[in-house]
């Protein structure tokens, strides 16, 4: 195994990654595949065209790119997709990233998954140094689950969650709040998360990927309303808890668990954004809701010199925009990112 990457040997300079708005970039989300074994209705169309395999970075290249970011001060790495656990041999990559945890260069290695393959991989993830996983789950009703994911099975995901807990992983459930779909289940989900010792976060549906405007607006359930509904039944107190991501938390007195809200529409959190996103083809997106991007694959392939890659990364960070423009408030979908499904850059 190679020596662990430390700040001093991987980076050509010790300067952290700072964007034009003086935000330090220390969080990288990596979409390791655009493929998925589900077709969630808000994320993908039923008939997706995926990238040809030859366009994907190899796992070795992903290792090289992510290690370069770690060398430049990235402290948190979240592996996402598509569904990361369907990428062949992905545990090799987790093990490789684990060496940066061992060296102390990386503070946290996490995963966002649909849970379908989690039962198989939970122990290996824990062994690689993963301590927390986010599992996406929008409903506890098997029939509704099959409907919203098109191809998924609830029992496999529940088994995955069990296995993750058994392996000692902290599990957070991410649920997209969808009008006329899971609005009637919110209280049941909070009670269930309490019983199962899981934190739970609700996410506002974002206008990613081509979709009929009326269909998208029809899905949108502002979390300000969700929160009001929740407060009718549960005692909520503000929490200062942060995980380095965009969620804001409250404590639920009755369950003793945290409840998070990710509210890109009703409360814009861009001013404190510390994140950039790498796709499985080596494109770095500087903002989930804007198209500012830079190709890192070409400079990486052009030279083995780490200084070349560092220059490309720093030049990309200089492109980071102030924030996204998602807005549904005028009863139409503004700021939409039509060309890019969520599975390209990961959630």
> Binding residues for ligand SAM, per CB under 6 A?
36, 42-43, 80-81, 83, 112-114, 136, 174, 176, 203, 205-206, 208, 342-343, 346-347
252, containing H or E segment: strand 248-252
Single residue of 7, 12, 16, 39 touching ligand SF4 by CB under 6 A: 39
Single residue of 5, 17, 28, 36 touching ligand SF4 by CB under 6 A: 36
Question: With CB under 6 A as the contact rule, which of the stretches 40-48, 58-66, 216-224, 325-333 interacts with ligand SF4?
Answer: 40-48
Single residue of 44, 74, 90, 333 touching ligand SF4 by CB under 6 A: 44
3-class SS of residue 206: coil
39 binds, among ligand SAM, ligand SF4, none (CB under 5 to 8 A by kind): ligand SF4
> Interface with ligand SF4 includes 328 (CB under 6 A)?
no
Single residue of 10, 25, 32, 38 touching ligand SF4 by CB under 6 A: 38
255 binds, among ligand SF4, ligand SAM, none (CB under 5 to 8 A by kind): none
CA dist 269 and 293 (Å) reads 20
**64-83 positions binding ligand SF4, by CB under 6 A:** 81-83
Rg (CA), the chain: 19
Query: Tokens at residue 120, please?
Result: 């198989």
CA dist 280 and 283 (Å) reads 7
Q: How many residues does the chain have?
A: 347
333 binds, among ligand SF4, ligand SAM, none (CB under 5 to 8 A by kind): none
Question: Which strands form 236-238's sheet, in the order they lie side by side?
Answer: 236-238, 248-252, 257-262, 199-204, 170-177, 132-136, 108-113, 76-80, 27-31, 275-278, 283-285, 293-295
CA dist 10 and 23 (Å) reads 22
Q: By the criterion CB under 6 A, which residues form the site for ligand SF4?
A: 36, 38-40, 43-44, 81-83, 114, 136, 342-343
């Amino acid at each position: 195994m190679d020596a662990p990457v430390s700040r001093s040997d991987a980076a050509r300079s010790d300067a952290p990654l700072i964007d034009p708005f003086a935000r330090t970039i220390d969080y990288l989300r990596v979409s390791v595949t655009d493929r998925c074994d589900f077709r969630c209705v808000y994320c993908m169309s039923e008939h997706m065209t995926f990238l040809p395999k030859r366009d994907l970075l190899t796992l070795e290249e992903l290792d090289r790119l992510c290690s370069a970011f770690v060398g430049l001060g990235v402290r948190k790495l979240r592996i996402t997709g598509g569904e990361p656990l369907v990428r062949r041999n992905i545990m090799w990559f987790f093990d490789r990233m684990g060496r940066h945890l061992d060296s102390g260069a990386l503070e946290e290695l996490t995963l966002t998954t649909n849970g379908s393959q989690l039962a198989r991989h939970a122990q290996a993830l824990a062994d690689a140094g993963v301590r927390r996983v986010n599992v996406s789950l929008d409903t506890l009703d098997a029939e509704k689950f099959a409907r919203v994911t098109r191809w998924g099975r609830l029992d496999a995901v529940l088994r995955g969650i069990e296995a993750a807990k058994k392996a000692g992983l902290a599990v957070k459930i991410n649920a997209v709040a969808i009008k006329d779909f899971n609005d009637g289940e919110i209280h049941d989900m909070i009670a269930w998360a309490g019983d199962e010792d899981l934190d739970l976060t609700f996410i506002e549906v974002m206008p990613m990927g081509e979709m009929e405007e009326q269909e998208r607006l029809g899905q949108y359930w502002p979390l300000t309303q969700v929160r009001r509904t929740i407060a009718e039944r549960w005692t909520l107190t503000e929490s200062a808890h942060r995980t380095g991501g965009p969620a804001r938390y409250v404590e639920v007195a009755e369950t003793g668990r945290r409840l998070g809200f990710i509210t890109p529409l009703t409360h814009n959190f861009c001013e404190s954004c510390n994140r950039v996103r790498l796709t499985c083809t080596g494109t770095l997106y500087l903002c989930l809701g804007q198209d500012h991007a830079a190709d890192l694959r070409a400079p990486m392939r052009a030279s083995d010199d780490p200084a070349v890659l560092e220059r490309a990364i720093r030049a990309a960070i200089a492109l980071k925009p102030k924030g996204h423009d998602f807005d549904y408030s005028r009863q139409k979908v503004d700021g939409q990112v039509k060309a890019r499904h969520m599975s390209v850059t990961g959630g």
